[in-house]
Structures are given as C-alpha cells and as structure tokens.
Structure 1
Amino acid sequence: MPAPKEELVVIAAVAGAHGVRGDAKLKPFGDASQVCSYGPFLDKTGAVILTPTQARPGPNGTVIVRLEENLTREQVQAMKGTLLHVPHRALPELDEDEFYYSDLIGLNVENLEGETLGKIKSVQDYGAGDLLEISGPDGVWFLPFTKDAAPHVDLKAGKLVANPPEVIEGDEKEGE
C-alpha cells in the first residue's frame, strides 16, 4: 500500500525576477519574515523547484530571495505566477484559537442548532478582516471569521459552528 501523500500548503507565489543575478521576488501568503524558513519550495506534486538561501524585504510586501539554483533573470521571470508549496508539517504549531487558512477550507459549517449551512470554500481578506466563503444550499455567502460569528472550530471533527449575524449591513430594504 503506498504511503499517503503529504499535505502541501501554498506559502508564496513567484512575483517575478529581481535584479540581474537570478534573484526572485516572491509574494508571501503569510508572515513575510518567515516565508523562507520552512525549507525548499515545492511544486504541487512535492518536487523541489526553488531553494532559498537568503531573503530580505522587498517593495509592497514582497520578499527578495537569493536562490541556491543558478537561474538567470529570464528563467526566474518565466516562473512568474508559480505557486510555491511547503509541507504542512514544516509550519509552526499554532495556539488553540489560531488556524491556517488551508485547514479551514472544506470544513462543514453548522449553525448553533447543528443544522448544516454548507462548506467553507475559501478564506478571503479584503482588508477589513477575514471572511469565510461558504457554499451552501442557498448559494455562496460570507461569514466574518470572528469569535462571535464563528464561536467554535473543530478541525478533528471537520466542522465550524457558525452564528451568522441576523442582518448584514446593506441587506436591509429601504422602508423596513
């Protein structure tokens, strides 16, 4: 029986080349100061594609990375948009009320009474806090990822208990 495939997490994307020596500019999807500390970057199959040796802050929240691979500027530029993965086990343990987005995606969502509301499709952050995109029987809807709106997350059971707000600002009809 083959070993189970190791879970990979997208940690960054190649944003382009930086300079003329084959350095890469990365767009991190987490703590920019830690993005290169989890080991080599893998593709979605788990094969090593880039190995960072040095990193420094770049413009607009990017990270400039010196690579072990001896790539040209053109080779790095050709990788623009490539998603960079690391093994989930390489990420640090989180506190009890902290979660990786990748751990939330796919969780079943129930209300306080245990009725199924849908599944978490993605986690979005438009600047005002995290929103859970939930696909349910009535379509797609968003839930603020706050302690009030999502009071209980049980990763082992694969569910999130939701307490959606009664009225979401902007949904009220005039005259009501």
Structure 2
Amino acid sequence: MDEVIADFLVAQRDWYRKHHGYNWVDAELAGRQAEDLAERLHVEAMEAHLHEGAFFRDLPVMTGAQSAIRRLQDVFDVFIVTAAMEYPLCCEAKYLWLKDHFPFISPLNVVFCGDKGIVAADYLLDDNLRFLRAFRGTGVMFTAPHNLHADWTPRVSGWAEAEAFFHAKAGRSVG
C-alpha cells in the first residue's frame, strides 16, 4: 500500500520538514530512507508518530493508481496487501483511506498482515525488497527513491508501466 498506491514518502518528507526543518531533494534520498538522513531523535519522533496510526489517514494517492487499478480489476482479482502490523494502530486509518480513495475495492480484498510472504497470489507489486524476497509468486518491484539501487527484476516505474506490465502478462494491451 505505502509507496505503491499511497504516497508515504511525500507525507513523510513534509512531516520532517514541518517538524525538524529537513528539506531533502530527491537525489539525497536515492537509495536511502529518510531515517538514514535524519538525526536519531527525529527518527524516533517519526516512529512514535507512525505508531499512533493517524499519519496513514491523509496520505496522497500515487499518481495513476486509482484508474490503473480500476482497469486491472477487469482482468485480475486485485487485492490490497499492507504490512500494517508494523504499526498496528494504523489499520483503521488505512482502511478508511482505502474506502475514500479506492471505494471500488471490496473490503474482502484488503489484507492487513505482518509478513507478505503469507500471501498466496500470482503477483505482488511492492516497493520493499524484503517483502518481494519472501513472496512465492512473481514479485514486481515498484520503483521508489529508497529502492533505486536494488537489484530486482521485474521492476516498474509508476502506474502506467505497472498497468502495461500486468496487461502484457494477461495478453492484453492497455487502453
């Protein structure tokens, strides 16, 4: 969910800027997480804020995610899988966020888990190498600044590429 359909990084960067004055440019984040660049006390404050859960309620939607997923549902059984148990109090916020931004996804197609390796599916589109490695199907890396240097194939950059990738797997063209 985060950094695939929800733009966690934009919100995180904004929080660090507002609360601690950081103003990172994309090049500084290439291959790194925000916590690699911030002072330890600031990272701990961010972690505490994430554990409160509300942060996840107002994340921006990743460009193109809504329309692409809507079209992909015509071909695939689409499930939203999120490792919410890292921040258990985020579950309600994430669920309400999904209802607001992806009302066409059934609540029965939403999975809150800790380890995405438990998911039995053909594909997992994710930004996190740890979850892709644990997944038994085909893991597709969704490019994000923190994973720019990760060696993983297949990889897609943005929702237009993701949609084209999955339509090609289904033997269909985008459009």
TM-score by length of 1: 0.29
Name the structure where strand makes up a greater proportion of residues. 1
Name the structure where helix makes up a greater proportion of residues. 2
The structure whose Rg is larger is 1
TM-score by length of 2: 0.29
